[in-house]
Amino acid sequence: MAINGNLFQAFLNQHDDKAWARVVAGLLSSIHPVDQTATRIWFSFFPLKLFRTLEESQDPARTAGELLLAGKYRLGDQVDNSAEFLYGHRYWPEVKQAVAEYAEGVTTPASLALTEQILEVSKRVAGQLKAEPSLLVGITAVAFMTWQQVGPEIFKQPAHPSTKAAKRAKSPEQVLADRAKDDKPGWLGFLKTVDQEFTVTFKENEPTATFKVVNMQDLTMAAAKDRRDYRSRDPRCIEGPIPVECRTAACGTCWVGILSPTSKLSEPAEREIKKMKEFGYRGFSPDQGSVIRLACQTKCYGNVSIVIPPWNGVIGKLDKEEQVAASNR
């Protein structure tokens, strides 16, 4: 690996989750609306605090057990598909290659600010593909963070061919419109005794990845009625596509990302807010529109588009450890 790659890795390693949160916040206005929330969700799904804890542990398996980790929690095991729910993921092969080349480049970056470097690479790729630059910013930020966690050897491997074929036919505007609209009530919908049903989509790029939810029903209860076999793909899925154990906000198993307008969901109650802090899931801010929720506590009032993370655990203690370490400096 060239010295530039080493310097790039060292540069990225100067950034922790809080620094990255500032970077993402600074990039949001440059990210197309179709991927603004999706980018925030991805960074919630793959926090540096978890990666660093496992890397620094002398017994990662034991540490994973202490954090009650279940599912695929290592980004290195899913480099090419972790961000499939981003619209910009269609450009992942090109972005991945561009970031690898950028890391090994011989020229000095125009700016030492991470935000500016991400924008520089995204504009470069957009120009090559003749694509809207705002569609590249979110996925480029994902690529930078992925490099930081998995390192150059894994990252520089060519993207899996399936990512090249997974191109959405809809435009970004059509995706946003689909997220905003609701199912129309049936011909008996005017009767108050008839509960209106809505559609929950949990993989926007798969037409069959949906289930029905009755008005004011929580997501986990609705998902449990989906009797298709999800457990063979994810052992955590006992009932339906959303992993769930308790339905009382006690386990943190059913956390999900919300892509559609949060106005279609019930407001988070005090218990959910408290538990989300305990679980340590980032992206949860009631005053700014919670994009991370516990599905068992989330009732629907319209069509909803969600993302189901590949793992769950209780990592809030890592935040406490960071606070203690900071106070001792």
> Torsion-angle region of residue 109: left (phi > 0), alpha (psi -120 to 50) or beta?
beta
Chain-centroid distance, C-alpha 322 = 22
Q: Are 93 and 140 in contact (CB under 8 A)?
A: no
b/e string for 87-111 if b means 16 or more Cβ within 10 A? bbbbbbbbbbebbbebbbeeeeeee
Confidence of residue 3 (pLDDT cuts 50, 70, 90): very low
- The pLDDT-based confidence of 100 (bands split at 50, 70, 90) is very high
**Structural domains of the chain sorted by starting position, each given as residue range(s) with its CATH number in brackets:** 3-169 (no CATH), 181-317 (3.10.20.30)
Residue 172, classed as helix, strand or coil, is: helix
Q: What is the pLDDT of residue 329?
A: 47
Report which of residues 4 and 25 the model is more confident about. 25
Token pair belonging to 153: 């050897």
Per residue in 153-194, pLDDT tens?
A: 998 898 876 654 455 579 999 999 999 999 987 655 555 445
Structure tokens at 329: 């400096």
Range 103-111 average pLDDT? 72
Is residue 198 within 8 Å of residue 212, measured between CB atoms?
yes
Nearest to 92 by CA among 40, 149, 35: 35
CA distance 23 to 168: 28
Which pLDDT value is given to residue 236? 97
Kindly report the average pLDDT of the chain as a whole number: 90
Report how far residue 143's alpha carbon sits from residue 148's, in angstroms, rounded to the nearest whole number: 9
pLDDT over 70 (residue 250): yes
Q: Which pTM was predicted?
A: 0.92
